[in-house]
Amino acid sequence: MRTYLEAALKRKVQHIPEHILPSLTIDDILRGTPQALENSNVPGDIQLSFVLRNRQSIDRFAGRPIKNEKQQDLATTRTIFFYHLDKAFQFQRHHDTTRWNLAFFAALLCDDPATPTSAAYDDSTDIGFHAQSFMIAYLAAVMERHNAPTIFEKREEFVRLWKKSDWDLFTQFASGQKKLLKREMGRLFEEWEVELDNAIQDMGRAEYDRRIAPFVGSVVPGRKDQGLMREQGHLCGLMDGMGSQSSEPADLEVSEERKQELIDALCVPLEQERYGDYEDYDEDMTTPTDLTDAITWIQSTRPAEILPVLMRLFPAPE
């Protein structure tokens, strides 16, 4: 029985990065350790027991998030995003696709005759407003993941917006476009280093940390020393509206009921499927602009233009 459970655990947590779900053994499940019962990286209703019980449905579309609620419910879509089961649909800039989308959106938001924060803007007549709202929501979600990982408000908002709208991230790139974008990311890193150093010199470190540092290493590139300073493993500065929370698992009183829930979830069969048509399932979605236009924007938009826009869209708390 133990061998069966060990194999089941290995299959059911595969493809989940260790920085999202720390490495677990079957003893963690059987004893109900804090690492197995409480993961501060994900919301409470999609903890490990949910993944173990529902991995079959999570994998139905080869681990892809699907907008159609009848084909994939919201909880499953959220699980794919929060557990980083699809590299294109998650909230950390460690993957090329994420870095490219962040660069696209930051540049595109500079084309902003009237922003979603403007009371005079009529969102019922201009689809540009909705595209901007989608891009802003994504940037906010990524900032939250990097700067306040135990708070989920902005990420939950983005997943719900993605689910109910036709908007999508850029996920399909030709080989030549990938090579071009990797070169552009190198250039942008160098330009952002200079821009951020200038901002520190002009504003002073304290004001810089309050107004600009939360963007660095989350939505824009930069050196480690240009981001938020850390003390004892915690961020000194947090995004507006976010409080400090420890990322360590809370002390838990382990109950037999919670341990049994984990074991029962692990025992739910996970059948080997041939996904067939599900793997090729397609939906009508649209990106904020076409890919060629987005690439042109990151080639022609400088950090000096982007930074004031980010500061206006995400103002620091007073």
Q: pLDDT tens, 284-298?
A: 899 999 999 999 999
Closest CA to 138 of 111, 174, 100: 100
pLDDT-derived band at 258 (thresholds 50, 70, 90) equals confident
What share of the chain has pLDDT > 70, as a percent? 84
In sign, the C-alpha dihedral spanning 112, 117, 123, 127 is positive
Q: Please name the amino acid found at residue 3.
A: T
Average pLDDT, the chain: 87
* Size of the chain in residues: 318
What does pTM read for this prediction?
Answer: 0.86
pLDDT-derived band at 236 (thresholds 50, 70, 90) equals very low
pLDDT-derived band at 232 (thresholds 50, 70, 90) equals very low
pLDDT at 202: 97
3-state secondary structure (DSSP) of residue 170: coil
C-beta separation of 285 from 170 below 8 A: no
pLDDT at 104: 98
Q: Would you say residue 114 has pLDDT above 50?
A: no
3-state secondary structure (DSSP) of residue 235: strand
pLDDT-derived band at 271 (thresholds 50, 70, 90) equals confident
pLDDT at 244: 38
pLDDT, tens digit (0-9, with 9 covering 90-100), for 128-149? 899 999 999 999 999 999 999 9
pLDDT, tens digit (0-9, with 9 covering 90-100), for 46-55? 999 999 999 9
Neighbours of 97 (CB within 10 A): 20
